């Protein structure tokens, strides 16, 4: 068996095949990041060994197209976190840095850590659509915040009293309409023109955001309605979970999913002291979504509050108790995204007792 490491770039990909046991290099190739180049990669791999695994350095945009093509072709693909290749580079006898060196480091990191310890790539086009729209919406929100800040500073120069009235910002349509009427009463000038242009842009972004939320709600309901039915899970949170999970089937267990989400505890014991520390790795957006659900449930769900109180009574801090809750949430969400085929209705409604979540 061979392991093929890939160092991906915008214009080209370099692949290096190593022996699945010894890590000895069996071949390498640099290919264009085009359809023809990816077909060449498949021919290159087929000429080396019938039993093979592709280890792709998880670089989001630059590796996504190659990964999707390989999965569609029936290849086994695993994702290797870039941080894991550092120790391999340091222990390599070949000094320096190049694309073949990097691809070799990816392949050997997969061999060193064990192929089964990595999440497999999974082709979920619906989850991909949700993630693209969710990421675009996040960019819109950032842009709207930038425009609102720019407008408020401009209002300080035009009419400080108007800016002082915006205590809750410009999220309300009523507030934006009132500001538009105030600007219309000003004498013509560059400041008025710029302020009206920025306000119109804010209105446009807000309307686009509302349309995206409606579209995301429909997509999430079609993909995983059981997730949206859970307490503390809204459209945006569910979209983040679905998009960043990218197919829960690629994780061998809920523990692997929790590790991917950055909520699995890291042992930090020494001598007579037994403790666990915060995991700062994993997908931070997925971690953030779990944190939002945990905080929402801690405020609204009696079973969750009782669980946190019990953990606090055991000597854990509030943050440590929240981390324990997030680990339970990861288990629950993993099983929601991969329901057992024999289960007819495993999902309690939002108003139901969620003691099952904490067992």
- Domain boundary residue among 165, 194, 223? 223
Q: State whether 49 and 157 are in the same domain.
A: no
- Domain boundary residue among 64, 85, 117? 117
For the chain, the straight-line distance linking the first and the last C-alpha, in angstroms and rounded, comes to: 42
On whether the CB atoms of residues 269 and 275 are closer than 8 A, the answer is: yes
Q: State whether 14 and 28 are in the same domain.
A: yes
Residue 351 has pLDDT above 90, yes or no: no
Q: State whether 245 and 353 are in the same domain.
A: yes
Q: 170 Cβ partners below 8 Å, 6+ apart?
A: 148, 151, 176, 179, 202
Between 209 and 98, the more confident residue is: 209
Average pLDDT (160-168) is: 86
pLDDT score at 239: 94
In angstroms, the CA 29 to CA 14 distance is 6
On whether the CB atoms of residues 133 and 212 are closer than 8 A, the answer is: yes
Lowest-confidence pick of 23-32, 80-89, 341-350: 341-350
Boundaries of domain holding 102: 2-117
Lowest-confidence pick of 168-177, 222-231, 233-242, 265-274: 265-274
Q: State whether 48 and 66 are in the same domain.
A: yes
In angstroms, the CA 58 to CA 36 distance is 22
Residues β-bridged to residue 78: 55, 120
Q: State whether 218 and 279 are in the same domain.
A: no
Compute how many other C-beta atoms are within 10 angstroms of the C-beta atom of residue 335: 16
Number of domains in the chain: 3
On whether the CB atoms of residues 241 and 333 are closer than 8 A, the answer is: yes
Q: State whether 111 and 169 are in the same domain.
A: no
On whether the CB atoms of residues 78 and 53 are closer than 8 A, the answer is: yes
Between 358 and 144, the more confident residue is: 144
Q: State whether 354 and 231 are in the same domain.
A: yes
> Any idea of the CA torsion for 266, 267, 270, 274, to the nearest 10 degrees?
110
User: Residue 119 has what DSSP assignment?
Assistant: P
Separation of CA 34 from chain center: 26
Q: State whether 82 and 186 are in the same domain.
A: no
Q: State whether 17 and 64 are in the same domain.
A: yes
Residue 219 has pLDDT above 60, yes or no: yes
Q: State whether 21 and 78 are in the same domain.
A: yes
Q: State whether 97 and 131 are in the same domain.
A: no
pLDDT score at 359: 42
Residue 195 has pLDDT above 90, yes or no: yes
- Global model pTM greater than 0.95: no
- Domain boundary residue among 172, 197, 223? 223
Between 253 and 120, the more confident residue is: 253
Q: 210 Cβ partners below 8 Å, 6+ apart?
A: none
Residue 94 has pLDDT above 80, yes or no: no
Q: 94: domain CATH number?
A: 3.30.420.10
Q: State whether 234 and 314 are in the same domain.
A: yes
């Amino acid at each position: 068996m061979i392991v093929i490491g890939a160092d991906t770039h915008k214009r080209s990909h370099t692949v290096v095949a190593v022996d699945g046991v010894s890590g000895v290099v069996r071949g390498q190739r640099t290919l264009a990041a085009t359809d023809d180049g990816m077909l060449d990669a498949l021919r290159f791999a087929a000429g080396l060994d019938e039993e093979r695994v592709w280890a792709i350095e998880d670089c989001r945009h630059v590796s996504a197209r190659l990964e999707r093509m390989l999965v569609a072709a029936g290849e086994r693909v695993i994702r290797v976190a870039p941080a894991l290749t550092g120790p391999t580079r340091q222990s390599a006898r070949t000094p320096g840095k190049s694309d073949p060196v990097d691809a070799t480091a990816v392949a050997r990191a997969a061999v060193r850590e064990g192929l089964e310890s990595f999440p497999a790539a999974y082709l979920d086009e619906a989850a991909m659509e949700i993630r693209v729209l969710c990421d675009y919406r996040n960019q819109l929100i950032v842009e709207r915040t930038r425009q609102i800040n720019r407008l408020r500073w401009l209002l300080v120069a035009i009419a400080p009293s108007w800016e002082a009235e915006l205590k809750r910002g410009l999220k309300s349509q009523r507030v934006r309409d009132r500001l538009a009427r105030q600007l219309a009463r000003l004498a013509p000038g560059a400041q008025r023109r710029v302020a009206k242009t920025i306000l119109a842009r804010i209105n446009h972004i807000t309307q686009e955001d509302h349309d995206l939320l409606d579209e995301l709600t429909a997509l999430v309901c079609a993909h995983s309605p059981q997730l949206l039915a859970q307490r503390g899970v809204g459209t945006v949170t569910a979209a983040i979970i679905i998009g960043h999970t990218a197919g829960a089937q690629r994780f061998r267990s809920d523990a692997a999913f929790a590790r991917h989400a950055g909520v699995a505890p890291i042992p930090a014991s020494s001598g007579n002291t037994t403790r666990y520390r915060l995991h700062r790795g994993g997908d931070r957006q997925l971690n953030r979504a779990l944190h939002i659900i945990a905080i929402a449930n801690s405020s609204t769900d009696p079973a969750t509050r009782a669980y946190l109180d019990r953990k606090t009574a055991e000597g854990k801090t509030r943050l440590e108790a929240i981390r324990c809750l997030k680990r339970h949430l990861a288990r629950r969400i993993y099983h929601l995204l991969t329901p057992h085929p024999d289960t007819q209705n495993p999902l309690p409604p939002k108003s139901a007792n969620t003691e099952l979540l904490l067992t």
